Structures are given as C-alpha cells and as structure tokens.
Amino acid sequence: MKKWQEYSVTFGGIVLLFILFEVLMAQGIINNYVSGVLVLIGINIIAAASLNLATGYLGQLALGHAGFMAIGAYSAAFVMKVAKINGFQNSDGIVVGLMIVALIFAGVMAAIFGILIGIPALRLRGDYLGIVTLGFGEIIRIAIFNLDFKVMGFQFTGGARGFRGYLGYMSFEMIFWLVIIVLAILYLIIRSRHGRAILSIREDEIAAEAVGVPTTFYKIFGFATSAFFAGIAGGCLAFYQKMIDPKKFTFMYSVEIFIIVVLGGMGSLTGTIVAAIILGILNEFLHVIDQWRLVIYSALLIIMMIFRPEGLLGSKEFSLVGLIKKVMGKKSSSKSSDAQEVK
C-alpha cells in the first residue's frame, strides 16, 4: 500500500470517528457535560503530545510545561480582548478567524519564551534541567499572580482575580480537528530528517554530535516547538473556560501533563492519546475525593513503573493501516492453511 493510500485510510477512519461522535451528540447520548469532558481531554492531548516531543523524543526532562500553557492562555486572551474592545462580538463569523490568529500568536509567544529559557537551560541535563524548567514555570505563575498592569486601557493579567471578559469559545468539533492537526504536524516533524536528528540526540548526544548533527540547534528547536504547541493548548483552555485563573497553572498541573506522557509511553503519540483519555475519565470519578487524586496518580505510576516501565504503548504507535494489514494477513494465512488441508 502506497503512502498516500495509507494516509487516505487513516483520514477516512478519523472522519468516521468524527461522524460517530456527532451522531451520539445528536441523539443525546453524549450530553453537554460529557462533551465538556471530551474538550478537556483534547486540550490535555495537545499539551501532553507537545511535552512528549521534548521529553519522549528529545530526551530532555521538562517539568515547567504549565508555564508555557499560561503564556499561551494569556496571549490568546489578550488578542481576543483587543478584538472585543474594537467592537467584535462572539456572534460575528470573523471571531473564529480571530481565534485562529490568537492561537498562533499564543504559540509564537510561548515558543519565544521556550527559546529564551532553552538557550541557557539546555546546557544542563537530567534532573538539573528538570529543576530549571520547574523554576521557570513557577516564576511565570507567580509573576502573573502578583502583577496587575494595564495594556491598552484594560487590566492585562488581572492578578489573583484572573483575566476575563474576552471573546472566544471552544466546542468539541473545534478541539477534535485541532487535535488532529497538531498530532499530524508532530508526526510529520518526527518522521522528517529533523525528527531523526532529535531522536539521535535522545539515543546518544555525543555520538550524534560526532557524526555532524548540530545538537544545540535541534535541542532548542525541539524545546521551542514543544513550547509552541503548549501555548496553543493554553489558548484552547482559555477559550473553553472563558476566564483564566492563574492558580490553574501550578507545578501540579505540569506533573499531571507529565504523568500522561509517562503513562502513555515516552515516544508514542497514540500512547499519549490513550493515557489522556484514561486520566481524563479517571479525573471525573475522583472529583469527590479530590484530596486523594494525586495519591491515586502516584500509586498508578508506581504500578506502571513496576509492571510496564515503558508505558502503555512504549515507543510504538497504533496504526489503523497496520491493524488492517494484520487482519488481512491473518485471513490470507488461514485461507492458505485451509487450502493445504484440502489438498
């Protein structure tokens, strides 16, 4: 099967899945509450997939992902607040276009901060890099929490009160296709020569540099790309919640995203999807015992580290085309064995 045929089959499966969700929502089987949970799962998939690029594929421990999401959330909200001041309303069809611009702006701002923190921090490795990125995330949160200044006549961060009063919304349909686009871009990056260079750094940085791979460039490139998509996830979260609470972007939120990556498999995008769905559903059941939620997360991680340290899918990817080939191969082999028995 040729590449374009494989991509066509995969896209066809995605369209069928989307139609299935739409039918379930039209029939009332998926209500507004469940639809909201699906939107949050989609946001977590984007955030965890972006972190997987830096941690799973690049091999750099990053624990401040919530900081990049906070930058993206406030950047996207800033664009939509300016649009509202200039007379746009949520009913205007142009708002969707403005939201796309706002998400791109959010990603660019997060990527800029990713480069600024990446240039000095990526000289470190392992736990030291994790501590630096953790500190960066906390600096961003505390700065947003304590600073309350005006930009273009309105309170930009809102301080501890949060930021609200901007345009934007996030529906299931929007997050579904945004997740598909982000995952497709990450997949193409990983499968490109740039992705192979990133993987070589994870496997052996010294050997990669010895054969001519510009390791410094690709480490910053991977870190900035990860921050870019984290900013988009933050913008989506801002649009969905219709207000930004700085207390949301704590160290524990970075840990939650990191848990999704570890649980799904460091180096597996489809593993990230599976883990985000599992933890998203689990979160809804744990609201009644919120103080025990992190204890259960920790126990889950311990069990995973003991029985399956590579994660649910490890570094493997689920492929619809591969599944079809496997099923067809089993059918053809069973037919050939039947024919041999008849003979």
pLDDT level of residue 312 (50, 70, 90 thresholds): confident
Domain chopping of the chain, boundaries: 31-312
**CA 124: distance to chain centroid?**
24
Q: Is 176 helix (H, G, I), strand (E, B) or coil?
A: helix
Give me the residues paired with residue 150 across strands: 155
**Spatial separation of the C-alpha atoms in residues 87 and 207, rounded to whole Å:** 57
* pLDDT at res. 110: 94
In this model, does residue 342 exceed pLDDT 60?
Answer: no
In this model, does residue 149 exceed pLDDT 80?
Answer: no
Q: In this structure, are residues 102 and 235 in contact, taking their beta carbons and an 8 Å threshold?
A: yes
Rounded to a whole number of angstroms, the distance between the first and last alpha carbons of the chain is 31
Each residue of 281-307: pLDDT tens digit?
Answer: 888 777 766 667 777 777 877 887 788
In this model, does residue 148 exceed pLDDT 90?
Answer: no
Residue bearing the bigger pLDDT, 247 or 1:
247
Q: In 10 A of CB 170, how many CB atoms?
A: 22
Closest CA to 223 of 103, 102, 52, 75: 52
Q: What percent of the chain has pLDDT over 90?
A: 29
In this model, does residue 55 exceed pLDDT 70?
Answer: yes
Each residue of 172-216: pLDDT tens digit?
Answer: 999 999 999 999 999 999 989 998 999 998 888 889 888 888 888
pLDDT level of residue 235 (50, 70, 90 thresholds): very high
> Both tokens of residue 300?
């889950």
> Both tokens of residue 319?
């492929």
Average pLDDT score over residue span 35-56: 93
Q: In this structure, are residues 331 and 289 in contact, taking their beta carbons and an 8 Å threshold?
A: no
* pLDDT at res. 49: 93
* pLDDT at res. 150: 67
- Per DSSP, 53 falls in state I
* pLDDT at res. 250: 86
* pLDDT at res. 321: 66
What average pLDDT does the chain have? 84
Each residue of 93-143: pLDDT tens digit?
Answer: 788 888 999 999 999 999 999 998 888 877 777 778 888 888 888 888 888
- Whole-prediction pTM: 0.89
pLDDT level of residue 255 (50, 70, 90 thresholds): confident
* pLDDT at res. 302: 82
Q: In this structure, are residues 62 and 220 in contact, taking their beta carbons and an 8 Å threshold?
A: no
Query: Torsions phi, psi of 154, nearest 5?
Result: -135, 160
Tokens 């959010």 sit at which residue? 106
Q: In this structure, are residues 212 and 65 in contact, taking their beta carbons and an 8 Å threshold?
A: no
In this model, does residue 1 exceed pLDDT 70?
Answer: no
Please name the residue ranges forming H helices in 124-268.
Answer: 126-146, 172-191, 193-203, 205-210, 215-241, 251-264
